[in-house]
A = this chain, B = another copy of it.
Amino acid sequence: MSFAFAVTGTQGSARAADFTTPRGVVRTPCFMPVGTRGTVKGITPRELREAGSQIILANTFHLHLRPGEELIERLGGLHAFMGYDGPILTDSGGFQVFSLTDLRKLREEGVAFKSPIDGADCFLSPEIATGIQRALGANIIMAFDECPPATMEGAALRESTERTLRWLERCLSVGLKPHQCMFPIVQGGMDAALRVESARRTLAIKGDAVGYAVGGLAVGEPKDVTYRMLEASIAELPANKPRYMMGIGTPLDLIMAVDRGVDMFDCVLPTRNARNARVFVPGGGLNLRNAEHRDNPSPIMEGCDCYACKSGFSRAYLHHLHKSDEMLGGILASIHNIRYLIRMCEEMRAAILGGKWEEFKASAKVA
């Protein structure tokens, strides 16, 4: 068995675990940097590793459109293609397709859409999305799900949630390569009962999955709703399997999710924000473009062990780089933000293993 999951410590619902994959052990809680098009924007694989990255995410939707999974498979798979030897998780493309509200048409068979690159007619289905991920060579493949908007409710939401279950069965009909596994995704919109039902029926379809994901959250709903829906989604999931909450997040999101039993996260926020000069610091964030940083000799964050901070690059220098639209501004800020979230996961893990989770939560400076 090339995948295994061993919980090594718990504090309430929060847990620390060792998630064994064919590309190495992932120590959780774990933040996965997002490499949308086969590159975490602006960062070399070496810098990613130095930032403590254990596993990264890549996007099926984008890689399918360009350069295409056939090419990547022929060149030895996504690991070889992008020079990253750790485990890779690919999303199914569902989230991106459903974001194309004007460009897509949903049928039971799948989703037809226009390529945002060249307008070409494209089609994704459970079988196609799984086949693409298999060809990419991802270690963790996500089921192709429907991602309803936060506002969907009633019969439409039930139909959407049931479609995701029907699609899961079709995803599972596609054979994977030996070093691959598939995570089903719990949906159910902003309806707690439907989320519980989605989780139960997901387990009925695939009780022996390597891990399970919670999707369709952090899509615009209030935070308290996010957390309630997360709790409903997770309550039924087995304790001995990794739980991946998709698309978060902020330092606060990570703590709230870990506190509810989540093990894995991904989000474009740290790198997207970084390219816009916004960086994480204890207590919140700051925008390096603001004039207050113009002549500040301090690093982004005192004591931070990221390459940017420990090398002594000042806020003043980063302010200058961002004001001048120099690439290095986004590069250094991205390295900092990724390291910030990964270090926070390391600290959460240490707190859980050390029996100090409540103290960690109480003292965490997040916003």
Report which A residues bind B (CB closer than 8 A): 37-39, 41-46, 66-67, 71, 74-76, 80-83, 294-295, 297, 307, 311-314, 316-317, 319-321, 323-324, 326-328, 330-332
Kindly list the 7 A-B residue pairs having the minimum CB-CB distance in the complex, ordered from nearest: A42-B327, A39-B328, A67-B320, A37-B324, A39-B326, A81-B317, A75-B297
CA distance A320 to B319 in the complex (A): 31
List chain B residues, Cβ under 8 A from A41. Answer: 326-328
Q: A83-B312, A316-B71 are in contact. Are A327 and B324 (CB under 8 A)?
A: no
Q: List 10 A-B contacts (CB under 8 A).
A: A38-B317, A38-B320, A39-B321, A43-B328, A44-B307, A44-B331, A46-B311, A75-B295, A327-B327, A327-B331
Most buried by B among A307, A311, A324: A324
Given A45-B311, A67-B323, 12 new contacts (CB under 8 A):
A37-B326, A38-B320, A38-B321, A42-B327, A42-B328, A66-B324, A67-B319, A71-B316, A74-B295, A81-B314, A82-B317, A327-B331
Q: How far is the CB of A116 from chain B (nearest CB, A)?
A: 12
CA distance A320 to B316 in the complex (A): 34
Residue of B nearest to A37 (CB): B324
Q: Is the CB of A83 within 8 A of B311?
A: yes
Residue of B nearest to A47 (CB): B44
A81 CB contact (under 8 Å) in B42, B311, B316: B316
Residue of B nearest to A324 (CB): B37
A42 CB contact (under 8 Å) in B67, B319, B331: B331
Residue of B nearest to A330 (CB): B327
Q: Is the CB of A67 within 8 A of B316?
A: yes
List chain B residues, Cβ under 8 A from A324. Answer: 37, 66
CA distance A42 to B325 in the complex (A): 11
CA distance A320 to B37 in the complex (A): 9
List chain B residues, Cβ under 8 A from A321. Answer: 37-39
A83 CB contact (under 8 Å) in B43, B74, B297, B313: B313
List chain B residues, Cβ under 8 A from A331. Answer: 42, 44, 327, 331
Q: How far is the CB of A132 from chain B (nearest CB, A)?
A: 16
CA distance A320 to B330 in the complex (A): 21
Residue of B nearest to A332 (CB): B44
Residue of B nearest to A62 (CB): B324
List chain B residues, Cβ under 8 A from A323. Answer: 66-67
Residue of B nearest to A335 (CB): B44
Q: Is the CB of B316 within 8 A of A75?
A: yes
Residue of B nearest to A327 (CB): B42
List chain B residues, Cβ under 8 A from A71. Answer: 294-295, 316
A320 CB contact (under 8 Å) in B43, B66, B80: B66
CA distance A314 to B317 in the complex (A): 33
List chain B residues, Cβ under 8 A from A294. Answer: 67, 71
Residue of B nearest to A82 (CB): B317
List chain B residues, Cβ under 8 A from A42. Answer: 327-328, 331
CA distance A41 to B312 in the complex (A): 19
